Structure formats: structure tokens, C-alpha cells
Amino acid sequence: MTESPIPIETTQGYCPPTAVQFSVFLSNKVGKMLDLTEHFDDAQVALCAFSVHEASDHAVVRLITSDSKQTRSILKDNRFPFSEHEILLVELSDGHTLSKLCLYLLGAEINIAFAYPLMHNASEDPAIAIAVEDPTLAGQILRRKGFQMLGECDLPNRH
């Protein structure tokens, strides 16, 4: 007797929607932030999340946009050094608070490396970008707990 094959959905599980975070490295000089951000205005790409980590001689600007492909092109064309990271976008709403998000991830021993709020999202509920070591597992856990996960396609195209 042969066993019937297991459906693909069962073997692969849920893969949460994600977005691309770009970490842009800037020298810590007056006007560098303006130089970076005006390229997005010119291309009409919405900056949906933005975080700056400054040191004495440089800054790392973490950003999420409405169009990662165009963002990649803008950064390359203008010779901004950058890296990319897959990130989860999670809506916070009644009963689905930041403390509950942290509690559920802690229960699975998933560390949040960093987090920052989204400036723009299609919903009226606040949303947060979180970086974790295993976004698939974290997304599966949060989805099972009823959190709404967002992807790049859920971000508004205009600023």
C-alpha cells in the first residue's frame, strides 16, 4: 500500500508577508539626510518607516518604502552604500498590543533585534516593523495569536 503524498501547504506551512528594510550608511555631515530623502520625493516613492542610528562619524538610516525595487535602484544609482533585511510589519489593535506581541515571541524564545513604528499604512491601526532572527516562525506565531501581518503590497504608494 502506498502512502498518499502530503499536500504542499502542510509541508511548507504559513509564510508571512514581509517587507524589505534598507539600512543606508551615511557620513554624519550636515545635509546628508536631505540628500537621501529628496531622491524618494523625486521618484514619488513613499517612505513608510524611518529610523536613524547615529554615531560620531556616521549614521545608519533604516527605512521601509512602498516600492523596494525602485528604492534599490535609487540607492544604487546615487551610490548610497546599503544593505537589505527582511522585516515583519505587524498591526497593533485592541487585544493585539505591543506587550502581547513581545510576550508571544518571548514564549518561543524569539528575540526582537530592533523595532520602530510605521509612519504610513493602509489601516487606521498603528503598525510596527520588527526585525527577528526567524521571520517565518515569528510570523506564524503572531498570526496564530490573531495579529494582522502586513507586506509591502499593503503600504500606501503615495506619501
Domain boundary among 41, 61, 85: 85
Same domain, 101 and 149: yes
pLDDT (0 to 100) of residue 9: 42
The sign one gets for the Cα dihedral 82, 148, 112, 133 is negative
Q: Are residues 120 and 91 in the same domain?
A: yes
Domain boundaries, position 37: 19-85
Closest-CA residue to 23 (of 75, 80, 62, 65)? 62
- Helical pair 32-43 and 68-77, crossing angle rounded to 10 deg: 130
- CATH code (residue 31): 3.30.2130.10
Question: Given the C-alpha cell 497593533, which residue does it identify?
Answer: 92
Single-letter code of the amino acid located at 120: H
> 58: burial class by Cβ within 10 Å (0-12, 13-18, 19+)?
middle
Neighbours of 42 (CB within 10 A): 9
With respect to residue 8, please indicate whether it lies within any of the assigned structural domains. no
pLDDT tens track of the chain, all 159 residues?
Answer: 455 444 444 445 678 899 999 999 998 888 888 999 999 888 888 899 999 988 778 889 999 998 999 999 999 999 999 999 999 999 998 889 999 999 999 999 999 999 999 987 667 889 999 999 999 999 999 999 999 999 988 888 765
